Each structure stands twice: as C-alpha cells, then as structure tokens.
Amino acid sequence: MRLISANVNGVRAAHRRGGLAWIAEQQPDVVALQEVRATDAQLRAVLDDVGMGDWSVAHTEAADAGRAGVAILAPVPLTDVRVGLPGFEQAGRWVQARVGDVTVASTYVHTGEAGSPREEEKLAFLDRIGERMSELVAEKAVLTGDLNICHTALDLRNVKGNVGKSGYLPQEQAHLDRWAAAGWRDVVRADAGAVDGPYTWWSWRGKAFDNDTGWRIDYQWASPALAALATGARVGRAASYAERWSDHAAVVVDYGAG
C-alpha cells in the first residue's frame, strides 16, 4: 500500500499548480489530504481532472466554509468512516476510514498561539486524538496529517528563533512522546534516522524554501502492526520554488503486505 498524505493548502489551488497530477503520478493506493478547503463537488471536480473521479471519498468540511477540511481517497470502497472527534465534530479536522484491513486517519491540527485560547483549543484537540489513537493502537492503523508540531530539534531548522512558540512547545511535543511510548512509530523519522529534517513546510516568503529553512510538521504515525510493514518513506519536496504546489510537501510511505 502506497499512502500519500499532503496538506494541499486548498485543493483547487494545488490542482492549478499541478499538485493533484503529481499525486496521481505517484500511483498511490490511498491519499489523505488536509486543508482541502472545498465542497464535496469541488473536490470531485479536481479528482475527475486527474483520472481519480471514480475513487471513493471520505471528506469533511469545516462549519466555517473555506477553512480546514480533510479527506481520505482510495480506488476501493471505504468502510467504517468516522468524521470528527468529541467536541470537534464540525471542525473539518478529522476523518478516518478503513481501507481493506487498515484504518487510515487524516487530521489537520490547529496552528495554535502560545498563551492564548487558540493554544488551549489545540491542546484539547490533541487530547482527543490521543484518545482515538488508544482505541486504534492494537489494529493496523495510521495517523496522517499536518500536526503543526515539530517533535524534536531535528524537525526544525531555526530552533532558537522558535523556542516558546506554538509548534515547538514542550506541552505539544509531550503528546507525540506519549504516542511513541504507546508503540506508535513516526515512520519518516524511523526511515530517515537522526538527521535534520526532512522538512515538510516552508514559508512562501523570502528564501525559506531555497535555504531549506523548514519545519517537519506533516507525519505518518503507524501503529505497531502497520509500522512493522513499512518498507520506505520519503518527503516529496519540489525540485524548485517554481515547482511548489503547496507550502507543504507530501509524505509518501510504502507499506508491505502482512
């Protein structure tokens, strides 16, 4: 199973820049999207354009139109679809579905702002994610998406400039520590080893992309049973600034049969 997870920063804009065509060219078996920011009909339209119009779709929009939105796509039927988490049913930030014998979740965690209600909301959402992951840990399951958290210093180029800021707060990182302690594996980090990056987000502004001044905030966290089947992981970083189709890069992981 090739699973591609991508924050598309607006699926229609990403499609205009070639992003959906790029995803289709990778021949995925499952796609998880974040920041879709589109209606069901608009999402279906871009899928039609890249030959994925007959794929099964589990998609949830935010109550606040034009924001957030997550989706799971597959060429086979999706079963056991669940939308939202307790207290966040209309947020457009969580959808999960079974693809064969694997449960795939796509999430878009809040950006947050240290010391503000926005950060409290982010931490509350992370609590709900942790509860759901506890339910799924014994299955073949994978949490994909934009967590808006750098887990360690290896995941952030400019550590000094971001100490005390949302995205690099100890209380956020503690959630990921708990997932790891429970047996979940950060598949990209396990594959890459103890190296800087590979980053998945860079500002559109300035030379952040050219200088690789990035953040690794997009993940695939696999349960023990599924992590054991991972055969390779990579970040689909664009070859140049001009070829970017989102401010994020896709995360591509191959899982073998088992």
The token pair that represents 21 in the structure block: 């065509």
Burial of 184 (0-12, 13-18, 19+ CB in 10 A): buried
Please give the pLDDT value at position 32.
98
Return the CATH number at 168: 3.60.10.10
Please give the pLDDT value at position 67.
86
Residue 148 annotated as lining a ligand binding site: yes
Please give the pLDDT value at position 11.
97
Q: 45-52 contacts: CB < 8 A, separation 24 or more?
A: 46/11, 46/12, 46/15, 46/20, 47/20, 47/73, 49/15, 49/20, 50/15, 50/20, 50/21, 50/23, 50/24, 51/24, 52/20, 52/24
Taking the chain (258 residues) in runs of 10, the rounded mean pLDDT of each run is 98 97 98 97 96 97 87 98 97 98 98 94 98 98 98 97 96 98 98 97 96 98 98 97 98 94
Please give the pLDDT value at position 169.
98
Residue 120 annotated as lining a ligand binding site: no
The token pair that represents 70 in the structure block: 């997550």
Active site residues: 108, 146, 248
182 lies in which domain range?
Answer: 2-255
Residue 146 annotated as lining a ligand binding site: yes
In the chain, how many domains are there? 1
Residue 186 annotated as lining a ligand binding site: no
Q: Answer yes or no: are the C-beta atoms of 79 and 97 closer than 8 Å.
A: yes
